[in-house]
Amino acid sequence: GDLGRRGDNSAVFLHSAYDVQIYPRPDEVYACGSPEVALPLPEDPRDIRPCPQQAETVRQEAARISLALQGATVKSTGACYLPGGSADGLPIIGRIPMAPNAYIACSHTCWGILNAPATGQALAELIADGSSTQVDLAPFAPGRGNRLGKLFAALR
């Protein structure tokens, strides 16, 4: 019954084949998961549509762990692709090498929801002050050995 109470900053990660994550909020609960890895990324983002069976799987997984969620009404469903892309699995955060006033923060995969505040603060410091005091961004540099790093090198 306390899931989503005011001030609750919990996140629940279910260990199952569906990778369901539950994020309680004061007035609602956000649940996501059930990744589909076999479908290619469509050219037009408007072609990304939620699969009703996967949405139902997420609802069932959330209801499985909370009596409060068993009878909950689903307000909306959506679909997206996890923003991955780095060979080492780390996010890509920093100044784009060949563009002095361009910055990037991507490839957080499912950890973007949790890491967004720290990423935003670090990137804001980098843009405003030239470096981040809160996060060492060296491990996340855009030019390291990943697909974007190779793309940046090819564009030089």
Position 149 confidence tier, pLDDT thresholds 50, 70, 90: low
How high is the pLDDT of residue 148? 59
Average pLDDT of the chain, as a whole number: 82
Q: For residue 105, what are the β-bridge partners? A: 93
Cα–Cα distance, 118 to 133 (Å, whole number): 11
Of the listed ranges 57-61, 112-116, 117-121, 152-156, the least confidently predicted one is 152-156
Residue in this structure with the two tokens 């050219």, named with its chain if needed: 43
Q: For residue 94, what are the β-bridge partners? A: 104
Cα–Cα distance, 125 to 130 (Å, whole number): 7
- The token pair that represents 106 in the structure block: 């991507």
**20-70: pLDDT as tens digits:** 888 888 888 888 887 776 777 788 888 888 888 888 999 999 998 888 888
pTM over 0.85? The answer is no
Cα–Cα distance, 143 to 154 (Å, whole number): 11
Tell me whether strands 29-32 and 92-95 are parallel, antiparallel or unpaired.
unpaired
